[in-house]
Amino acid sequence: METQTIENKEIATKVTEKISGSEAIVRCLIAEGVKIIYGYPGGAIMPVYDELYKYQDKIHHVLARHEQGATHAAQGFARISGKVGVAIATSGPGATNLVTGIADAQIDSTPMVCITGQVASHLLGSDAFQETDIVGISTPVTKWNCQVTRAADIPAVLAKAFYIAKSGRPGPVLVDITKDAQFEDFDFSYEKCTKIRSYVPIPKTVIGSLEAAAKLINTAKKPFIVWGQGIVLSQAEEQFKALVEKAGIPAAWTILGASALPTSHPLNVGMLGMHGNYAPNKLTNECDVLIAIGMRFDDRVTGKLDEYATQAKVIHFEIDPAEVDKNVKTDVAVLGDAKVTLEAILPLIDENSHEEWHQQFKNLYEIEYEKVIKGDLYPTKEGLTMGEVIKEINIQSKGDAAIVTDVGQHQMIACRYAEFNKTKSNITSGGLGTMGFGLPAAIGAKMAAPEREVVSISGDGGYQMTIQELGTIFQQKAAVKIVVLNNDFLGMVRQWQQMFFEKRYASTEMVNPNFVAIAEGYYIKAKKVTKREELAAAVAEMMASKEAYFLEVCVEKEGNVFPMVPSGASVSEIRLE
């Protein structure tokens, strides 16, 4: 009783002090445990930067070379750490340059808080210099956003922003703060947000749904698990592995789910989707129970929807009720946090092995190996393949590196062939497919996990979209290993032009600069590889470096990524050539 009285007294006594809105912003970030933020200064956010200057011992600000780079770096930070990434920018073009990264974070469920400066409140709506309605622009691509015009509202709004960004299904939040609110003094106090009326981040799990799901799993002859990033976001890797092993069910992953189960695990049967592995795609349409965990049935995974797993009973473990029945009709929906629901269902699951069913996956893997994998990893032709570069990185990193990819052919090859021994090792742009994501995201990942080896893999096209972030790498001394797989093409678009547009390579051939000279211009050690016999030594030198290192590898110009499910086709129609 005495303890209760003391606690009540502490809650009732709210310590306040008079400070400016801009200082309040910095103090709120500190209260939320933020130690690194990414951004770019400008007129409407200058008061906040002035306060950041005073708090350099508590918050490290990373000057990106472009606001889009700041958001991708914040994403990379969030994806490898599990914490909220923070990006900050000024009004107008500074704010609009954040939008691509915000949209990327929204579709890939990445927790991020973006803070933008805004013109003074009396100028709102007047088309003042660098005024843009960033709240209106970002509404479709944020989990929540808000404009603040009074300093007194800053603490509560930022507390709410962090809570919304990280709770339930994570996502990006934007807070737009007018310049006068940043200057205004008020009585400051901060209290973390733990609840919002009418907002239910984690839906209640119905016990009956667990029992129904367990019954279907236990009676299945050909059960198949497809898992996504929900496993990683809920930190359910241990529970997931226990379920897979106890039930003996083959399991395949979406690109954002990669690394939740080690690549080498015998029940990990590979990648789903347009450029996924042959067996998991083909056998999706032969399983009798399809168990989807923490994934949203994206069109790149399902292919033609009306021919996707129509023979199977579908169980969907999902935290976001809006995703259930959105694309694929579910027989049993298990709502809730994956870590909790998987732990709850485990005692209800019978031990099993499904050896004959597993053999079907092995048989199809052998076909894919002979037709595709062997040529990618052990080529006999003269030109270097993207696959053998990834294989060499695996050898040198022993599968412990975090691989951050851009978007394109190299992304699919890296996701297919990279070895992941640890969770949170595959950081890529999934739903939005943002070229330029890789390099800045690798900066954020390395700064969040300096003890880990972080390898950025890009194509020559996407790399040039955010190449200026080499300046951030140099200034921050971020020891990112940068690999550009250069085929002098926008490779993925060129592949489609080859296959579906009679080789009309419209605006896809690249005339590239001297990438090594550019890297060296940023004082980053660099090397170019054009021959197979040079590759192993170059990758070994890169991985041994204690500083940032740039490696350009010239690969075959017209290499294609197979298998491939053509757009609009069924997953059963996956092509090996």
pLDDT at 11: 36
**2-188: CATH topology:** Rossmann fold (3.40.50)
Residues in the chain where the model's pLDDT stays below 50: 1-13
Of residues 143, 160, 166, 179, which has the active-site annotation? 179
pLDDT at 8: 37
Domain limits of the chain? 2-188, 209-361, 386-554
CA distances from 217 to 85, 295, 349, 425, 570 (A): 38, 18, 7, 29, 25
Of residues 112, 295, 492, 564, which has the active-site annotation? 492
pTM of this structure: 0.95
CA distances from 291 to 167, 216, 280, 343 (A): 24, 10, 13, 15
Per the omega criterion (within 30 degrees of 0), is the bond before 280 cis?
no
Of residues 67, 392, 419, 469, which has the active-site annotation? 67
pLDDT at 13: 43
For domain 209-361, the CATH superfamily is TPP-binding domain (3.40.50.1220)
71: three-class secondary structure by DSSP: helix
Catalytic site residue 520?
no
Of residues 129, 183, 500, 501, which has the active-site annotation? 129
pLDDT at 14: 64
pLDDT at 533: 96
- 130 close to 92: Cβ distance less than 8 angstroms: yes
Catalytic site residue 509?
no
Distance CA 488, CA 246 (A): 48
pLDDT at 15: 74
End-to-end CA distance of the chain: 74
Distance CA 105, CA 122 (A): 32
451: three-class secondary structure by DSSP: coil
* Spatial strand order in the sheet of 426-427: 426-427, 402-405, 454-459, 481-486, 549-554, 525-529
Structural tokens at position 142: 């944020």
Residue 408: φ, ψ to 5°: 145, -160
Structural tokens at position 425: 């090792």
Q: pLDDT tens digits for 528-549?
A: 999 999 999 999 999 999 999 9
Amino acid identity, position 252: A
Structural tokens at position 161: 């922003």
Q: pLDDT tens digits for 288-329?
A: 999 999 999 999 999 999 999 999 999 999 999 999 999 999
Catalytic site residue 550?
no
> Is the fold of 2-188 the same as that of 386-554?
yes
Give, in words, the CATH class of 386-554.
alpha beta
Catalytic site residue 409?
no
pLDDT at 16: 84
Catalytic site residue 130?
yes
Of residues 46, 83, 130, 343, which has the active-site annotation? 130
- In which element (H, E) is residue 233 found? helix 230-233
pLDDT at 519: 98
| Other Cβ atoms closer than 10 A to 38 | 32
Distance CA 254, CA 33 (A): 31
Burial 428-466 (b: 16+ CB within 10 A, else e): bbbbbbbbbbbbbbbbbbbbbbeebbbbbbbbbbbbbbb
